[in-house]
Amino acid sequence: MAEGLAVLIAGTTSDAGKSVITAGLCRAFARAGLKVAPFKAQNMSNNSMVTPDGGEIGRAQALQALACGLEPSVAFNPILLKPGSDQRSQLVIMGRAEGEVGARDYIHHRHDLRGIAAAQLAELRRRFDIVICEGAGSPAEINLRATDVANFGLAQEARMPVYIVGDIDRGGVIAHLFGTHAIVSPEDRGLIQGFVINKFRGDQGLLDPGLIQLEELTGVETKAVIPYLDGIWIDAEDSLQSAVGRVVGPGGAQPLGTQRLTVAAIRLPRVSNATDVEALAAEPGVSVTWVQDVGQVSDADLVIIPGTRATVADLAWLRAQGLDRALMERAAENRPILGLCGGYQMMARSITDAVESTSSSPVAGLGLFHVHITFVQEKTLINHGDGSYEVHHGQVSRHREQTWIEGEGARRQALFGTHRHGYLENDTARRRFLAEVAALAGKPGFVVSQDTSYEGIRLQQLDMIADALEKHWDLDQFLDEVSNPANVASNPDTM
């Protein structure tokens, strides 16, 4: 069987737009009738999901799979690192947790992991016409090059052409691109096929002279200048997208009735699956904002305590901010609170965690539910088949509350808690929940939409990205470049 094409989309920095560009290319080529698959050898993110076959991967790769018309698979993200602190991360290999590693420990794993990643990519190339690979962080981290898994290390292993994406919105994009080209080895430099400018606004005529000089200095052409897309907001890969004060989603959508709902999502230090709040933000008349302010927690119609990779530590942080008192006051006034996974665990009476925290002694929870949580080594990974999934070490050890969702979670008046992520992406479940929240919040003028399709919105977002790439990047030329082996390692070394 002929081997399919493969290409690596790398970035000058984290959050340069690699995930978005990869998703857009996947969508564009899938619409053109190609069999296309996404791939990210190594991902560092606490935004994860559970695949239909019960493995854990990054949310960005699940979105990219949707762009390709595929079910999510561990083959698309064989290595996942989930930070639990500044020093330690959980290592997930082929969808299964393999323990905690520190930065120095991980270096010793990377030689073996590169082999796993390369094998998965080779298998995908046998099955698909083209595999769009997304790099990790920056490929210019020369201190890590010897054991690189996801950038030039993978590209050299698979002899892939590399396109470098730079975010002009950050400033200094030409310097970023030049510096990336300059600092890598001549061998890696030879794989660079082109540069891509992301998030451009303004008159391109003012930018072009700089791009001409950049090509003269590097021998590498800027293949595309992608405009800033105002409406893109779904499935953010990086925690930078859940910054305090950020309004989630399109924002400003007019309510269908006379009132709107305000949602305050508490921005925990180790927030995970921040994407859970996006489905609510897609609804007309619902405003979702990331907050750490007591006043906003007190004033909102609904407060969400999201998931976290460090439940006990983030609970201590929440108390230090005085947010626990604001939540207790809301509960006493029977005003809506939703706890998701780690947030649900915080609402319990006690948490015993010898897995993610440094202490095995029980810690008092917020006490909003008569529930007790005990962490165990084996991680629960469940895909419920309705768009919701569970990924957690904390287990309910004692439970004296009414359950909420099919015998799971807890419900007491205006308090809701569940270990399920993605539950609100189900249109029927979300409408029912919003109707309850509006009633509890005393907002009879809020009208729930009956035709919002969250999956439809996600597909519209993907099409918007693909449309922009097709307009501003010659994708026929792109395929020619990727399919011609002579293009790999053919760029002149002008440095």
Q: How far from 469 is each of 23, 412, 434, 444, 465, CA to CA, in Å?
A: 10, 48, 36, 43, 6
Q: What is the DSSP letter of 220?
A: -
Q: Helix or strand or coil: residue 230?
A: coil
Query: What's the pLDDT at 490?
Result: 47
Contact 66, 459 (CB under 8 A): yes
pTM for the whole structure? 0.92
Contact 10, 120 (CB under 8 A): no
Q: Which of 36-40, 43-47, 341-345, 418-422 shows the lowest per-residue confidence on average (mean pLDDT)?
A: 43-47
List the strands of the sheet with 79-83, edge to edge. Answer: 42-44, 79-83, 88-93, 96-102
Query: What's the pLDDT at 356?
Result: 87
Closest by CA position to 368, among listed 397, 408, 411:
411
Q: How far from 169 is each of 139, 204, 226, 427, CA to CA, in Å?
A: 20, 14, 11, 34
Residues of the chain with CATH 3.40.50.880: 243-453
* CA angle centred on 176, ends 171 and 181, rounded to 5°: 165
pLDDT at 493 exceeding the cut of 70: no
Catalytic residue (one of 176, 393, 419, 421): 421
Annotate 263-332 with DSSP letters as a single string: EEEE--TTEE-GGGGHHHHTSTTEEEEEE--HHHHHH-SEEEE-EES-HHHHHHHHHHTTHHHHHHHHHH
Residues of the chain with CATH 3.40.50.300: 5-233
Q: What is the DSSP letter of 372?
A: E
Residues 6+ apart with CB under 8 A from 3: 122, 125, 126
| Cα–Cα distance for residue pair 258/443, rounded to 1 Å | 9
Query: What's the pLDDT at 419?
Result: 98
> pLDDT band at residue 237, thresholds of 50, 70 and 90?
low
Query: What's the pLDDT at 240?
Result: 52
Query: The domain at 243-453 falls in which architecture?
Result: 3-Layer(aba) Sandwich (3.40)
pLDDT in tens, 69-97: 999 999 999 999 998 766 788 999 999 99
Altogether, the residues listed in the chain come to a count of: 495
Name the percent of the chain lying above pLDDT 70. 94
Query: What's the pLDDT at 2?
Result: 73
**Among positive and negative, which fits the CA dihedral 10, 14, 20, 23?**
positive
Q: Which fold has domain 5-233?
A: Rossmann fold (3.40.50)
Q: How far from 284 is each of 181, 260, 348, 431, CA to CA, in Å?
A: 45, 8, 32, 12
| Cα–Cα distance for residue pair 286/262, rounded to 1 Å | 6
Query: What's the pLDDT at 163?
Result: 98
pLDDT in tens, 108-165: 666 688 889 999 999 999 999 999 999 999 999 999 899 899 999 999 999 999 999 9
Q: Helix or strand or coil: residue 209?
A: helix
Taking the alpha carbons at both ends of the chain, their separation in whole angstroms is: 39
421 carries an active-site annotation: yes
Annotate 37-91 with DSSP letters as a single string: EEE-SEEE-S-EEE-TTS-EEEHHHHHHHHHHT----GGG--EEEEESSSSEEEE
